[in-house]
Structure 1
Amino acid sequence: MDLLPTPVTQAGQAGLAALLAKPRTAVIGLDFDGTLAPIVADPEQARAHPDAVPALAALAPKVASVAVITGRPAGVAVRHGGFAGTAGLEHLVVLGHYGAERWDAATGTVTAPPPHPGVAAVRAELPGVLDRIGAWHGTWVEEKGRAVAVHTRRADDPQAAFEALREPLADLATRHGLIVEPGRMVLELRPPGMDKGVAFLDHVRTTGAESVLYAGDDLGDLPAYAAVDKLRSDGIPGLLVCSGSTEVTELAERADVVVDGPEGVVSLLRTLAAHMP
């Protein structure tokens, strides 16, 4: 049996101890891209690590719930993750679009409110905005249904394109009642009011969890980290895990445990399951 990592903070050590002591009252929260799935140049080609589903199937029956929380549409994350129809994942939910959509493995259905009208307006104006600022060769627009994302990873100079686009995209989003969520070489225009922290807190409170774990890799996961801090202050132990990368360091600086990308996350989930009764 592999050894579990030792959290670097006392709060993290308490969180891990609580998870292992009473796993059936624990909630596990996981980002998708960069955490369960390796980052790739084309997001449509992203797929969960090949060992992710077996690790989740081993862990999920032992805890109250596993929630995959992502900016992607819930159905896309389910498809790219290979979560549907897998034995052992009955306690899995996917909270897509930062919690605006919910897919339950137990029913195989997605529930969601009507889309924000600003997304359609931004989608219509975005090509003209990109043309006016030069469009940056290699920049790519991802349609996400309830959001629109502009990726710069394939641009000639990804970081320069990212910085050049920040202000004009922020102006475009503001005019239509949206916000811009920066990530790893991506700027996402989406409705306000929902983030991974709000989604995770709602799920934890609905589930009645007595301990939590959250794992993420990018700036959009910081609100979920803040949610774990809030839960800790309310007396619910929690463990913060970072799927480490060289592109984003803010999470590693706050995490209790840092692992080596999705492979490290999958290994941790598998080891947790092995240590739980």
Structure 2
Amino acid sequence: MPVGELNLLQYIGDIVDILLVTFVIYKLTMLIRGTKAIQLLKGITVIIAIWFLSIVFQLKTLQWMMNQAINFGLLAIIIIFQPELRRALEQLGRGRFFSRSNFEEEDASQSIEAIVKAASYMGKRRIGALISIERETGLNDYVETGIPLHSNLTSELLINIFIPNTPLHDGAVILSQNQIYAAACYLPLSESPFISKELGTRHRAALGISEVTDSLTVVVSEETGGISLTKNGELHRNLDEEALKALLTKELQTSAPASSTRWNWRGKKNG
């Protein structure tokens, strides 16, 4: 084989190699987004940056300390990231590692109908509810705080979960694709001082999860029966059945814009 063709094949192989490594790193990043592991990853990045600077500026003692940290780093990473590594291997075994973590379009319509029907039913009867929908950012840290269900998503099951004085009614339900992954989950509360005083813990939790992930969260107020939705730190309040369906359809199926009044988390109208 001519040398030119060998060089071309090697060049193509290098490109494929780089693309595959980039893709795997991207999927691993998506796997740990929204979990405590992302903060640990930032810490590791800082250590590597300090190690590099210690070499550049010939800081011998600091360089020795960083070398020791890096030498034992592999074992530390395995211990620290054990839950994430286990989850990645489980998903790889199920064939879900390379799939999208949010709703598939074919399932979205049925799922939206179930969520809207359940929220409307609970709103009319003032049954408090908190429903968080996983998209690209993983919600595994929050799933692990609740009771795993892995059940098919239906409006009847959602309603039954939030009936007062039942074991699972307190906390959030987390949905992924067309499944109810877990119930009675704890979500992080927003610490923003600008949230309206009339909003309770459910709304603060819905805003809190929307500030650290790209999830959508539906809230049904126990006091007023009002239906709200949060995304990206924004609160859409006082939604009727049609407005809620339009918003969910827009976000989960990338269809036409929703025709609802939008509120941000400071309680001011955006339009």
Normalised-by-shorter TM-score class: under 0.3
TM-score normalized by structure 2?
0.26
Larger Cα-atom Rg? 2
More strand as a share of residues: 1
More helix as a share of residues: 2
TM-score normalized by structure 1?
0.26
